[in-house]
Amino acid sequence: MKRKPQGAGKQADGTEDWFTGPAWRDRDGRAARRRKRIRIGAAVVVAAGAAVLVLNPGDVRSKLPGRLGGDTTAAEPLPPETAAPGAAPADEAFPATPTLAAPFAGSPAVRYADGAAGIVLPDAEPVGRLSKDEVAGVLRQVKELLADANLNRRTLRGERPAVALNLVDPLQPDVRKELEAGLTKPDREHDPLQLFTRFDPHEVRPAGDVVKTRGRMTFKEGRDGALAVHTDHTFVHPVVKAAAGASEVTRTVVRRVVDFEVNDPRRFQATPGKPALAGYHHEVANTACEVYDGFLHPQFSDSRPAAEASGPATDPYDRSQEMKEDESTGCGTVSRI
C-alpha cells in the first residue's frame, strides 16, 4: 500500500523528536490510505440454478419471483457488533426489490441500525495518561467525525464536511492540507472519497431519510502510551436518480476502516485530547470506477460500466473479512447490493 511521507517531527519544545517520527506521531512517516471501488456487474446464481449476467444485481432482484418491495418494518434489528462476525449474512432465496417506500428491501442492511445509532461507543476506561472521562470524550469525537463524514446530509450532497475537518488534530498540517485539496480540486492523488462519502446532487438523491450503519469501535493503549482507536463501519446509502419522477432505487455500500491516535502533548506536537488520523482505508460497492471527481457515482440498470471489472465477486455485506492493505485500486464485481 502506498503511503506518503508526512515530514520530520519535533517535540513540543521545538527540538527534533527523539523518536525520529513526524510531529503528529506516525513514526513511519505516513498515513495509510486505500482505494478500492467495486462496481456493479456480477454473475448471480439464483435458487433455481439459473445464472444471469447483469449490470446491476438490483435488476436481477426485479426479475426474481420474489416480493416487490416487501415489508421491512418487522425485521428484527441486529444486536451491536462487538467482534467480526463468523461469516457473511445469508442470501435470501427470493430477495425483495428495493423501492422508495422500502429502500433496504432484499438487503442485510434492513437489520442494521439507523444512521449514527450504528456507531456504538465502547465503554470507556483509562488509557495511559488519559482518564476514563478523557477517553470517553475522544470516543465521542471519533463518532462525531465519522457521522459528519458519512451521514450528514450536507456532506452527502457534496458540501464541505466542516465538523469532521475541525475534529482532526490541527497539528497534522499535511493531513489537513491533503483533505482540503481533495475537497477543493479532487483528482486521483487527492480523492476526498478516501475519508468522506459524497454524491453529486445533480446525479442522484437519497431514497428516503435513512442511511443504515453497521460496525464497531475499539480502543487500546498504543505505542508510548498513546490512545489508539480503531473503527470499522459499513454505511448503506439508498439512492435514486435526481431526475423528477425517478423511482428505481439502488444502493451504494461504503465500508471504512479508520484509525486514530491521541498522543502525549508533552512528548509530541499534538493537541490535548484531539484525535489524529493514523490511517484510513475504504471499499465502495456500486460506483463508477476510475472516476476521480470527488463524487460516488451509483450505477443503475441502464448504466454503462466506466471500466472493465475483474476478479472474483465480492459481497459488500461480508464483514467477517478484514480489510487487507494493498496497493490495488482496480474494479471488481459484487454478488449483491
Give tens-digit pLDDT for 103-125.
Answer: 999 999 999 999 999 999 999 99
Is the pLDDT higher at 302 or at 134?
134
In this prediction, residues 8-13 reach a mean pLDDT of 38
More confident residue, 4 or 311: 311
Measured from the Cβ of residue 71, the count of other Cβ atoms closer than 10 Å reads 11
pLDDT of residue 8: 34
Q: What phi, psi does 257 have (nearest 5°)?
A: -115, 115
Angle formed at CA 201 by CA 200 and CA 203, multiple of 5 degrees: 70
pLDDT at 92: 82
Rounded distance between C-alpha atoms, residue 220 and residue 226, angstroms: 8
User: Which triple of cell numbers denotes residue 187?
Assistant: 483528482
The model's confidence at residue 47, banded by pLDDT at 50, 70 and 90, is very low
Task: Give me the mean pLDDT over the 162-188 stretch.
Answer: 94
Q: What share of the chain is helix, strand, coil (3-state, %, to 5)?
A: 20, 25, 55
Angle at 35 between CA 4 and CA 255, to 5 degrees: 125
Distance CA 65, CA 152 (A): 36
- At 305 the pLDDT is 58
Give the residue from 312, 333, 318, 285 showing the smallest Cα distance to 90: 318
What's the pLDDT score for residue 201?
Answer: 98
Residue ranges per structural domain of the chain: 16-38+117-334
CA 163 to each of CA 147, 172, 178: distance values in angstroms, whole numbers, following the listed order: 9, 16, 16
Higher pLDDT, 36 or 268: 268
Nearest to 205 by CA among 295, 74, 292, 126: 295
Average pLDDT of 196-218?
98
- State whether the Cα torsion 304-305-307-309 is positive or negative: negative
Query: How far, in Å, CA of 218 to CA of 123, rounded?
Result: 9
Confidence of residue 34 (pLDDT cuts 50, 70, 90): very low
Model pTM?
A: 0.82
Element of type H or E holding 129: none
4 backbone dihedrals φ, ψ, rounded to 5°: -105, 140
CA distance 93 to 282: 29
- Three cell numbers written together for 122: 465502547
- Considering only 38-42, 91-95, 173-177, 273-277, which range has the smallest mean pLDDT? 38-42
Cβ atoms 301, 162 nearer than 8 A: no
For cell 498522543, the residue is 263
Mean of the pLDDT values across residues 128-141?
A: 97
Q: What is the mean pLDDT of residues 37-42?
A: 39
Amino acid at 158: G
Place of cell 443504515: 212
Give pLDDT tens digits for 57-108: 344 333 333 344 444 445 789 999 999 999 999 988 788 999 999 999 999 9
pLDDT higher than threshold 60 for residue 177: yes
pLDDT digits (tens, 9 = 90+) for 252-263: 999 999 999 999
